[in-house]
Structure 1
């Protein structure tokens, strides 16, 4: 059994990672931190790698400025590269958050974040999902889509939502 914590890579240190680590420790289960690279971001990386410049791909500005270097044949950016990159984002968030990051399992996926998180929770039979969110007014919630809200409504296991002011 596990506690699965999702990170977006934009918020460090991450209160969700802190709470997830505390919960996993209290339950004496594995703590996994997962970052999902959205499919459109992956496609931007793939396009940039295909342009064949120096072999180094600089992240789109919307992806937090993380760098990635494609591996394998030529300048192609593969799903495996995207997953390694996403795992690196999770690693950075955990290192910026926890005093002892070595006890945390890091994972990266490429795809639709809500679907990938819920699928990984099912694969791991997670005891809890821990997610971050931003406090919004009722109007803000009605006007804008919310990954946090989608997870809360779709998860078939307990979800701990750690809300921030930002």
Structure 2
């Protein structure tokens, strides 16, 4: 069994990662931190790579990990799903390193796809005991207008979900 913590890469350090590590230590199970690169972001990288001719692909700020910066596309090289997953793993690595004192004990995972679907699939694949996610406090109007990945996970998960709220 594992504790799976999903991160968006925008909140660093991550209270969700800290709470996931605490749970994993308490239950003496593995702690897996997952970042999912959304499909639309992946498609932008793929388009930029296929349309480049010796130029670098510009990455969004949340994909500014050392691994992501090191990945330079040029000469028409294709940006593959494996590249996206390595990139997403780099985001998870950056969040964990900025959050935990002993990050080497954490398993890092990156995926490409629709975040809610990929997070729940990874929880199922790993037989996760708990899923730990972050959330942001928003008004009811904000939730209605913009939707919520956190809310979607809470409504569809078939395992216990720990939601660590931030004030942002």
TM-score by length of 2: 0.91
| 2:132 alignment counterpart | 130
8 Å CA contact 2:64–2:91 kept in 1: the answer is no
The equivalent position to 1:82 in structure 2, one of 60, 84, 103, is 84
| 2:150 alignment counterpart | 148
Aligned pair 1:38/2:33, yes or no?
no
CA–CA separation in structure 1 for the residues paired with 2:27 and 2:126: 16
| 1:12 alignment counterpart | 12
8 Å CA contact 2:53–2:76 kept in 1: the answer is no
CA–CA separation in structure 2 for the residues paired with 1:89 and 1:68: 13
Structure 1 gaps of 5+ residues are none
Aligned residues: 164
TM-score by length of 1: 0.92
| 1:163 alignment counterpart | 165
1:57 Cα deviation from its structure 2 partner: 2.2
SS state of the match for residue 19, structure 2? helix
Structure 2 gaps of 5+ residues are none
